[in-house]
């Protein structure tokens, strides 16, 4: 037969046990959230670091002497020929290009913003290459507000000039296609005049490896891919990653 003390202790345990269990679950829930927050902050720091490295590399790659002087010579030629409207447009475009380069410091941007920058870059190259350069951009309206890595498309475009157009004579054709493929965003950049050096050079893959690494950091739990293919006349790079809209990230 239970004593009064034992019965009181039994009643107390019956009351406290659920409270202790609930407190333990709450503690574990808060602890898990804290771990997730720390992991997220850690990934953001790594992303910021990778972004800065990418930005630094891009600046060094693009604002290199030959690109700068060739562009300035093209602008100077327009001034000497008194082609005023083209001269003003060229200077404005070059200014916009530099401004974007030095101001972009975010983890991601929208497709339409990235393309705006790419078009500025291609306008500058058009001054240099004139009728030799033809480029086409096809971007579905549904992907305009989707996010991408800063300088992702720009890196692929610059590789086309660096490894093909600037090393071989002939027509320089560039196609950029951005589309939705089920739940994925597909970015395809194809250039004519493939260079054999691009197929074997370890340095040529640095930019693509950088893109792949940054995509894995931005989408650690999702499938991403960066693939390059060569044919007799073309080099094509295809990048796939989850289709995520800027609006979704604000919610």
CA 243 to chain centre: 13
Q: Tell me, what's the pLDDT at 56? A: 61
- For 111-165, the pLDDT digits (tens) are 999 998 899 889 888 887 889 999 999 999 999 999 998 889 988 998 888 888 8
- For 188-244, the pLDDT digits (tens) are 999 997 765 555 554 556 778 888 888 888 888 889 999 999 888 899 999 999 999
The answer to whether the CB of 184 falls within 8 A of the CB of 238 is no
CA 69 to chain centre: 27
The answer to whether the CB of 177 falls within 8 A of the CB of 156 is no
- For 66-100, the pLDDT digits (tens) are 667 777 877 887 888 888 888 888 888 888 777 77
| Coil, helix or strand at residue 180 | strand
CA pair distance 83, 86, nearest whole angstrom = 6
pLDDT band at residue 104 under the 50/70/90 scheme: low
CA pair distance 116, 122, nearest whole angstrom = 10
H helices within the chain, ranges in order? 4-62, 65-80, 84-103, 111-129, 152-160, 196-200, 206-218, 246-250
- Within 10 angstroms of residue 176's Cβ, the number of other Cβ atoms is 22
Strand order in the sheet with 184-192: 133-139, 172-181, 184-192, 234-242, 225-230
Residue that wins the pLDDT comparison between 22 and 2: 22
Global pTM? 0.73
**Residue 91, CA atoms < 13 Å, CB-side half-sphere:** 10
CA-CA-CA-CA dihedral for 54, 60, 63, 69, to nearest 10: -160
Residues comprising the chain, all counted: 251
């Amino acid at each position: 037969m239970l004593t009064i003390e034992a019965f009181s202790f039994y009643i107390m345990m019956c009351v406290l046990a659920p409270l202790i269990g609930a407190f333990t679950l709450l503690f574990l829930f808060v602890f898990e959230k804290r771990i997730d927050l720390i992991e997220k902050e850690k990934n953001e720091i790594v992303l910021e670091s990778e972004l800065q490295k990418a930005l630094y590399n891009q600046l060094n790659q693009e604002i290199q002497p030959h690109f700068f002087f060739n562009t300035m010579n093209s602008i100077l030629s327009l001034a000497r020929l008194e082609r005023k409207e083209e001269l003003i447009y060229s200077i404005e475009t070059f200014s916009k290009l530099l401004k974007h380069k030095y101001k972009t410091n975010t983890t991601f941007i929208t497709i339409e913003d990235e393309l705006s920058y790419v078009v500025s870059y291609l306008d500058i190259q058009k001054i240099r290459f004139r009728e030799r350069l033809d480029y086409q951009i096809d971007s579905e309206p549904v992907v305009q507000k989707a996010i991408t890595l800063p300088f992702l498309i720009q890196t692929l475009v610059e590789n086309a000039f660096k490894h093909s157009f600037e090393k071989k004579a002939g027509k320089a054709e560039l196609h950029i296609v951005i589309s939705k493929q089920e739940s994925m965003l597909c970015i395809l950049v194809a250039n004519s005049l493939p260079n054999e050096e691009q197929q074997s050079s370890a340095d040529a893959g640095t930019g693509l490896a950088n893109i792949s690494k940054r995509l894995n950091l931005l989408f650690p739990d999702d499938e991403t891919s960066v693939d390059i293919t060569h044919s007799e006349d073309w080099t094509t790079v295809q990048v796939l990653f989850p289709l995520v809209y800027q609006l979704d990230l604000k919610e």
